[in-house]
Amino acid sequence: MKKIAVLLVILAMALPITACTQKKQEYIGEKAAKKVITDTYPDADISKFEFKKDKKPPVYVIDFGDGDLYYEASIDALTGEIITLNEDKDKDKENKDSEDKGAAGETDTTDSTGKAEKEQYIGMDKAIDIAVSDAGEKVNSVMMIDSSETNEDDKEIYEIKFKANNCEYTYKIDAASGDIINKDTDLDI
């Protein structure tokens, strides 16, 4: 009986040590999540990328077109596995209508020679780095709340929310230039 009591005490002492030394899982990141889609759908044209950390498991939500079809995919942010893949019939109709009216909503720009070129964006991972660095923090020391890509005043914007050191930060980053458009810091008590 004494041996069992000693064994239980040893196990009880070892459990917190084991829990503290478990390695925190890392997210696969925007680039890897998009690669999951482009590996499966080589002609995918990604139109929206969102990180939803509050979901269980955390997911990347990616909207994309492939030929005449339009999809929304949820990718597990820890494993890179496609969790859901839904065809969006209404978006297919909108896309077809847009093409018929002259391809509204393109992100092409014209260079000095008059040739159209697709505008390049910095990517969500880089935008997160910019916001976290501006807040004086390190990416691995913050808790991400949400990140999404939106369009404001015909400009692509990354919206990023995270917590660190009892503060909640909200940033809007220009997707093309990486400039901070707006930032807000709230004390999180």
pLDDT tens digits along 129-168: 899 999 988 888 888 888 888 888 888 999 999 888 888 8
All CATH 3.10.450.40 domain ranges in the chain, comma separated: 30-101, 124-187
What CATH number has the domain spanning 30-101? 3.10.450.40
* Tokens matching residue 44: 């995918």
Tokens 């002609």 correspond to 43
What secondary structure letter does DSSP report for 142? S
Q: Which CATH class is domain 124-187?
A: alpha beta
pTM: 0.43
Using the predicted structure, report yes or no on whether residue 24 has a pLDDT greater than 60: no
Query: pLDDT by residue (tens digit) across 80-126?
Result: 998 888 886 655 444 444 444 333 333 444 444 444 444 688 988 89
Tell whether omega for the bond before 16 is within 30 degrees of 0, i.e. cis.
no
Residue 81 carries which side chain, given as an amino acid letter?
E
d(CA 13, CA 8): 9
Phi/psi at 51 (5° precision):
-110, 125
What is the spatial distance between Cα 126 and Cα 139, in angstroms, rounded to a whole number? Answer: 11
How far, rounded to the nearest angstrom, does the alpha carbon of residue 95 sit from its chain's CA centroid? 24
How many whole angstroms separate alpha carbon 153 and alpha carbon 120?
Answer: 18
Scan for tokens 């709340």, then name that residue: 145
Lookup: tokens for 163: 């917590």
Closest-CA residue to 72 (of 87, 93, 54): 87
